[in-house]
Amino acid sequence: MSVKHTAFPDSQLNGSLDSTNNPHLISRIKYMQYGESFSKSLQQPIPENLSNLEKVGESSVVERYLKLNIFTLNYLNCHRRFWMSSRFVKIQPVFCMVVKPLKAVTKKQWAITLRIIDETNKSLECILDNALIIGLLGFTYEDCESAIAANDKVRLNMFRNRALGLYDIFKRLDLLMTIELSPKFNVIAIVHNISNLASALDLC
């Protein structure tokens, strides 16, 4: 946009600003002194190297996200019936509800049952793999059993706090899960890995 300057008589421009009683005239004179250089600075293009860096950063994140190969539950429900066997797929839930809390199903295995919902508003019931639960808790059933036998209240309190902290993970909105899904709808899905988008995209 071109800036149009107004010419003033020399008699108005030669006088001192302090002796001028017209504030409008003072502002116009100041604009004539500084307005042109300022308007030219606004017209300077964005440095090419900065623009390229922003574009490269955005495109690389998008490319990494697409390479995660995330499926929606709606898509999986429509296509899993045609599979020959179970598959490992990545999903991105927006809501996780604990259906059955942490418990020991045997003397060596933990179990947690979740119901997850994604952006397509489809739900899926699944259980967490025992190895995943141990990795998230930081202790096994045998560790808990030995602490009970020894009446080690310090360890038992630590195990309890870790178990409660496990439920906080399922409240996150940026979870990414790798599940084992069967073509048969009556076979419950198994969650083998849980991470978040920031970690998956190498942003942290």
Least confident of 41-45, 117-121, 128-132: 41-45
Measured CA to CA in angstroms, residue 60 lies from 54, 103, 185, 195, 201 at distances of 10, 42, 37, 20, 9
Q: How many domains does the chain have?
A: 2
Which of 19-23, 37-41, 68-72 has maximum average pLDDT?
A: 68-72
* Inter-residue contact 188 to 125 (CB < 8 Å): yes
> Does pLDDT of 1 surpass 70?
no
| Shared-domain flag, residues 83 and 171 | yes
Distance CA 92, CA 72 (A): 7
Q: Which pLDDT value is given to residue 11?
A: 44
Residues 76 and 36 in one domain: no
pLDDT over 70 (residue 2): no
Residue numbers of the domain that contains 80: 70-200
Name the residue among 148, 104, 95 with its Cα closest to residue 123: 95
Give a yes or no: residue 61 inside a domain: no
Judge if 38 and 77 occupy the same domain: no
Domain membership flag for residue 62: no
Weakest-pLDDT range from 56-65, 119-128, 139-148:
56-65
> In this structure, what token pair is assigned to residue 148?
């009970």
Residue 140 burial (CB < 10 Å; 0-12/13-18/19+)?
A: middle
The verdict on residue 31 lying in a domain is: yes
Q: Are residues 140 and 176 in the same domain?
A: yes
Q: pLDDT grade, residue 22 (50/70/90)?
A: low
Task: Select the more confidently predicted residue: 204 or 32.
Answer: 204
Q: Are residues 91 and 128 in the same domain?
A: yes
Lowest mean per-residue pLDDT among 35-49, 78-92, 171-185: 35-49
pTM for this structure?
0.68
Average pLDDT (159-174) is 92
Does residue 125 form part of some domain?
yes
In a domain, 49, yes or no: no
pLDDT in the model for residue 108:
82
Where would I find the H helices in 138-196?
Answer: 141-149, 153-169
**Distance of alpha carbon 5 from alpha carbon 15, whole angstroms:** 19
Q: Judge if 91 and 150 occupy the same domain.
A: yes
Burial of 28 (0-12, 13-18, 19+ CB in 10 A): middle
Q: What is the DSSP letter of 46?
A: P
Residue 140 lies in a domain: yes
Q: What integer is the mean pLDDT of 70-94?
A: 95
Please give the pLDDT value at position 28.
52
Is 42's pLDDT higher than 50? Answer: no
Give the confidence band of 50 by pLDDT, cuts at 50, 70, 90: very low
CA nearest 110: which of 148, 147, 137, 150? Answer: 137
- Same structural domain for residues 33 and 75? no
CATH, residue 165? 2.40.50
Same domain assignment for residues 31 and 74: no
CB atoms within 10 A of CB 162: 13
The answer on pLDDT for 3 being more than 50 is no
| Together in a domain, 36 and 89 | no
Are residues 107 and 29 both part of a single domain? no
- Average pLDDT (137-155) is 92
Clarify whether residues 32 and 92 are in a common domain. Answer: no
Q: Which of 155, 89, 101 minimizes the C-alpha distance to 133?
A: 101
In a domain, residue 157? The reply is yes
